Structure 1
Amino acid sequence: MAILEFLKDLLSEPAILMGLVAFVGLVAMKAPGHKVFTGTLGPILGYLMLAAGADVISGNLAPLSAMIEKGFHITGVVPNNEAVTSVAQKVLGVETMSILIVGLIVNLLVARFTRYKYVFLTGHHSFFMACLLSAVLGAVGFKGTALVLVGGFFLGAWSAISPAIGQKYTLKVTDGDEIAMGHFGSVGYYLSAWIGSIVGKGSKSTEDIEVPEKYGFLRNTTISTALTMVIFYLISAIAAGPEFVSTLSDGKSPYLYAILCGLKFAVGVTVVYSGVRMILADLLPAFQGIADKVIPNAVPAVDCAVFFPYAQTAVIIGFLSSFIGGLIGMFVLGIAGGVLIIPGLVPHFFCGATAGIYGNATGGRRGAIAGAFINGLFLAFLPALLLPVLGDLGFSNATFGDFDFGWIGILLGRIGGSFGQLGIYLVMVVVLVVLFLPSILKPSQNAINNIETEEA
C-alpha cells in the first residue's frame, strides 16, 4: 500500500515525470554526466516554476469567483477538478492510483507499438482522469481488478489518442515545434481551431493587433494582462461591496486588495511563461533521445500552459470569451431549470485561453473569440450533464470542469447505464480498432498526424 501511494504521488507529479523523461532521453543519447544532470534538473525546475505561476493565478481567481457570486447573486455548482478529486479519494483512493499506474503503462505500450506515438506528460491530469474513470466505471458495476484494467486501458488509450487527433492544429499553434497537447480539455481546443477555420478566413492574428505608439506599453504582455485583470477585479469588488470584500482581504482596503489581486494575477502569468521557456529549452532536446532509441518518433504531450507563449494576446482574449460563454451557458441552464453551473474561473482561464490560442492559429482574431466562446458554452453544459453520472457516488455537489472529463464521463456513464458492462467492453473494442487501424492501413514508423515527421 505504501509503495502504491509512493508511485501514485511520483507519477502524478508532472515535474518529476518530465525530469525522468529528460533523464532517460539524455542517457539514451549517451550525453556526458554533467549534461544529464543539468538537462534533468532544467525541466523539473521549469515545471515547478510553471506550477508556482499557476498557483498564483488560481489563488487570485478564488476571491474573484467569490466576489462575482456575491455581487451578482449567483449560487450553484462550481466545476473544479481538484475539489471533486479530493472528495473522491475518500472512497476511491486505491482504485484511482491503480488506474493511474496501469494507464501510464498502457500509454507507453501504445506509443511503442502503434502509430499513436504520443507520450502524455501532464501527470496531474492523468490523475484526475483516473479518478473520473474509477467513479463512472464503479457506478456501472466494475470492481477490483476489472475496474483497474478497464479504467487503465481507457486512460492510456486516450492519453495517446487525444494528442494525435488535433496534432495538425497543434503544429499550427507552435509553428512546427514538435510538441503535442497533453491536457484533457483537448477536444475543446480542437473544436475551437475547427471553428476558427470556418469563421476566421482573412482575419488577422491576435498577435498582430496594431497598437498606437502612445499605447505601446500594451505590447508588454505582463502590463496588458495586469490592466485587464485590475479592471475585472475592481468591477467585481464594487458589485460585491466593500463589506464583503473586507472578509476576503484580511482587513486591507477592499479596492486596494482588488487591484493587488489583478497585479498578482499578471505576475503569475509571467512566471508561467518563464517556466515554459525553461521546460522547452531542456525537454525537447532530451526527448529526442527517447524518440531515437526507446520509442521511435515519440512526441511529448505537454500541459496546456506550455502553449501560452505562442500567442500571448490570444490568452487574454480566449479567457474573456470563454468566460462570457460560460455566463450565457449558466443563464440558459437556469432558464431550462437545470443545475446552475457557475463559471469556474480556473477552467475558463486555462482552457479558455488555450481555446483562444487554437482558434487564433486557424482563424485569427475572429477564430480566437468564436472558438473560445463555444468552448465556454461547453464548459457550462458538459459539467451539468456529467453530474447525474457522478451523483450515484455522492459527488452531486462537485463535478469535473474540463472538456474531455465531461464528454468521456457522459459517454461511458450513459452506455454503461443502458447496456451494462457489455456496453463498456464494446467501447473498448472500438478503441482497440482505432489504435491499430492506422498501422494496418498505412504501415509506418511515424507518429500519426505529426505532419512535420510525415514530411521528413
Structure 2
Amino acid sequence: MDILQVVLQWFSTNILQNPAFFVGLLVLIGYILLKKPAHEVFAGFVKATVGYLILNVGAGGLVTTFRPILVALAKKFNLEAAVIDPYFGLAAANEKLTEMGFIDVATTALLIGFGVNILLVALRKVTKVRTLFITGHIMVQQAATISVFVLLLIPQLQNATGAWAVGIICGLYWAVSSNMTVEATQRLTGGGGFAIGHQQQFAIWFVDKVAPIFGKKEENLDNLKLPSFLNIFHDTVVASATLMLVFFGGILAVLGPEIMSNAELIGAGAYNPAKSFLMYVIQTALTFSVYLFILMQGVRMFVAELTNAFQGISSKLLPGSFPAVDVAASYGFGSSNAVLSGFAFGLIGQLLTIALLVIFKNPVLIITGFVPVFFDNAAIAVYADKRGGWKAAVALSFLSGVLQVALGAVAVSLLGLTGGYHGNIDLVLPWLPFGYAFKYLGVVGYGLVCLFLLAIPQLQFAKAKDKEAYYRGDAQ
C-alpha cells in the first residue's frame, strides 16, 4: 500500500500536475496503440511535449508581463483587495485550507477526481460522458478552490470523508463541464477531435447556444468592413501590439516611472531609470505580442499531435473519448482578432464593474487579474464570433467581464478569502450557486449538485437527434 501511495504521489507531482509531460505521455501511448513505428512514437512525444512547453512559455509570459502592473496599481493607490486570478486564488485557497487544517486534501482530491473522470468515460454508454480532462495545472488550482467550497461550507464533511467528497465532485465537474464543450469545439475547429478542459466550459456551452441571437456568423470579425487604413488590424501581431500599446501606455503613464523602477516591488520587469520610459512602455506592449505569437505556435504543435494520437486511446482504451485540453488550443481556429476583442471588451466590462463597486462602497474591492480577463474572455469571443459574428463576440465578452468582478466579489465574501479568488467565469457561474447550495442545504445540497452534474450529459444525449453522432461529437 505504501509503494502504491508513493507511485501515485510521484505520478501526480511529476506527470498529472505537469500538463506538458501528461500530454506527451498520452501521445506516446496513443501512437503505441496505433502501432506506429518507434521513431514516429518518439517524434510525436517530443513534438507534443515541446509544443505544450512552448504554449506554457507564451501563457506564462503574458501573465508575467501583466502581473507587475497589477502589483504597482495596488501599491500606487493603496488597494487592499482581492485579485481575481487563479494564481492569487490558489494562494488564498491554500491559506484558508491551512487555517482549517486541511492543506493536504486538495492533492488527494485531485487524484480521486481524475479517477472519477476516467470511470465516467469508461462507462460512457451509461454516463454519456465523452471527455477526459487532462489540463493538470488547472486541476491543481480548482482542486484547492473546490476544497474550500466543500469543507468550509459543509462542516459535516470536515473529517476523513472530506477528501473523497471533494474528489468526487471535482471529477464530476471536470468530466461533465468539458463534455459540454464537445459540439461547440467540433463546430469551431471543423472536427478537431478535442474538447476544452480549463475554466470556462459552462460559459462556452452558453455562448455557443446564445451567440446566434446577436447576429449572423457571416458578420464575423474577419469579414468586418474597416476603412482601408485599418485593414492592418486584421494582422494579429499588429492588432495586439497596437492594442497593448494603448492599454499599457495609459496605465503606465498613470503609474509613472518612479513606481515602475522599484525593482523590489516590480521584480525582473522593472524600469531602468537610465533609459527612456517611453521606450520601456513600447517594449512592454510589444512583448505582449511576442508571447501571444509564441502561445499560438505552441498550440499548433501539440494539438496536431494530440489529435492524431488520441485516436489510439479513443479506439483501444477509452472508446469514443475526447481529450479536454487548455482553452488556448481553440485560439488558432477562430478569427485572428477575436482573442484581442475578447480581451479588450472583457476588460472594459471588468473595469466598469470595479468602478461601480467603488462608487457604491462595496465592502469587497476586486482587482483585475490577467488570466480571467484574457483567457476567459478571449475564448468567449472566439466561440461567439464563430456562431454570431462580431456583435456576439463584443457583447458576450463584455458580459463575462461584468460577471467575473460582480460575482467574484460575492464569492470572496462567501468563502472569507484573503487577497484573491479564482475569478474565472466558471468559478462564479456555476460554482457560486453551488456554494450557496452547500451553505444552506449542507450534505443534501452536495448531493443535489452531484445529481445536477450527472444529469447534464443525460440531457445532452436525450436532445441529440442522432445518438451515434452524439458519441462521435458531431455538431447537430
Q: Which residue of 2 aligns with 1:275?
A: 298
Residues 197-212 of structure 1: pairs in structure 2 closer than 5 A: 197-201=212-216, 204-210=219-225
The one of 171, 177, 181 aligned to 1:162: 177
Q: Which residue of 2 aligns with 1:347?
A: 372
In structure 2, C-alpha distance between the alignment counterparts of 1:188 and 1:426, rounded to whole Å: 21
Q: Which residue of 2 aligns with 1:244?
A: 259
* Letter of the structure 2 residue corresponding to residue 82 of structure 1: Y
Q: Which residue of 1 aligns with 2:309?
A: 286
Q: Which residue of 2 aligns with 1:105?
A: 115
* Letter of the structure 1 residue corresponding to residue 437 of structure 2: I
Change (3 A) 1:428 1:189: closer
Q: Which residue of 2 aligns with 1:258?
A: 281
In structure 2, C-alpha distance between the alignment counterparts of 1:406 and 1:216, rounded to whole Å: 37
CA contact (8 A) 2:23 2:134 kept: yes
Does residue 1:383 correspond to 2:408, yes or no? yes
Q: Which residue of 2 aligns with 1:6?
A: 10
The one of 431, 436, 440 aligned to 1:414: 436
Residues 31-430 of structure 1: pairs in structure 2 closer than 5 A: 31-66=36-71, 76-89=81-94, 91=98, 92-114=102-124, 115-139=128-152, 140-141=154-155, 142-201=157-216, 204-210=219-225, 217-247=232-262, 248-251=270-273, 252-310=275-333, 311-338=335-362, 339-391=364-416, 395-430=417-452
* Letter of the structure 1 residue corresponding to residue 338 of structure 2: A
* Letter of the structure 1 residue corresponding to residue 395 of structure 2: A
In structure 2, C-alpha distance between the alignment counterparts of 1:265 and 1:143, rounded to whole Å: 44
Change (3 A) 1:21 1:388: same
CA contact (8 A) 1:111 1:295 kept: yes
In structure 1, C-alpha distance between the alignment counterparts of 2:371 and 2:452, rounded to whole Å: 33
In structure 2, C-alpha distance between the alignment counterparts of 1:260 and 1:356, rounded to whole Å: 27
Output one character per residue of 1:38-60: Cα deviation in whole Å (capped at 9) or x when no partner: 11121111110000011111111
Change (3 A) 1:343 1:438: closer
* Letter of the structure 2 residue corresponding to residue 7 of structure 1: F
Change (3 A) 1:27 1:50: same
In structure 2, C-alpha distance between the alignment counterparts of 1:14 and 1:51, rounded to whole Å: 9
Structure 1 range deviating more: 203-212 or 401-410: 203-212
Give the 3-state SS of the residue equivalent to 1:407 in structure 2.
coil
Output one character per residue of 1:17-73: Cα deviation in whole Å (capped at 9) or x when no partner: 111211121111111111111111211111100000111111111133345557788
State the TM-score, normalized to the length of structure 1: 0.91
Give the 3-state SS of the residue equivalent to 1:451 in structure 2.
coil
CA contact (8 A) 1:71 1:236 kept: no
Output one character per residue of 1:95-146: Cα deviation in whole Å (capped at 9) or x when no partner: 1111111111111111111221111121111111111121111112213442
Give the 3-state SS of the residue equivalent to 2:320 in structure 1.
coil
CA contact (8 A) 1:19 1:43 kept: yes
In structure 1, C-alpha distance between the alignment counterparts of 2:211 and 2:461, rounded to whole Å: 31
In structure 2, C-alpha distance between the alignment counterparts of 1:186 and 1:320, rounded to whole Å: 21
* Letter of the structure 2 residue corresponding to residue 109 of structure 1: L
Q: Which residue of 1 aligns with 2:265?
A: none
CA contact (8 A) 2:91 2:420 kept: no
Output one character per residue of 1:367-421: Cα deviation in whole Å (capped at 9) or x when no partner: 1100100111111122111113321xxx232211111222344233212221222
Unaligned segments of structure 2, at least 5 residues: 263-269
Equivalenced residue count is 450
C-alpha deviation, 1:435, in angstroms:
5.2
In structure 2, C-alpha distance between the alignment counterparts of 1:46 and 1:291, rounded to whole Å: 22
CA contact (8 A) 2:257 2:271 kept: no
Give the 3-state SS of the residue equivalent to 1:342 in structure 2.
strand
Give the 3-state SS of the residue equivalent to 2:324 in structure 1.
strand
In structure 2, C-alpha distance between the alignment counterparts of 1:353 and 1:407, rounded to whole Å: 17
In structure 1, C-alpha distance between the alignment counterparts of 2:361 and 2:36, rounded to whole Å: 61
RMSD of aligned Cα (Å): 2.6
Identity of aligned residues (%): 27
CA contact (8 A) 2:244 2:286 kept: yes
CA contact (8 A) 1:137 1:151 kept: yes
CA contact (8 A) 2:373 2:401 kept: yes
In structure 2, C-alpha distance between the alignment counterparts of 1:421 and 1:238, rounded to whole Å: 52
Change (3 A) 1:307 1:204: same
* Letter of the structure 1 residue corresponding to residue 37 of structure 2: P
CA contact (8 A) 2:85 2:370 kept: no
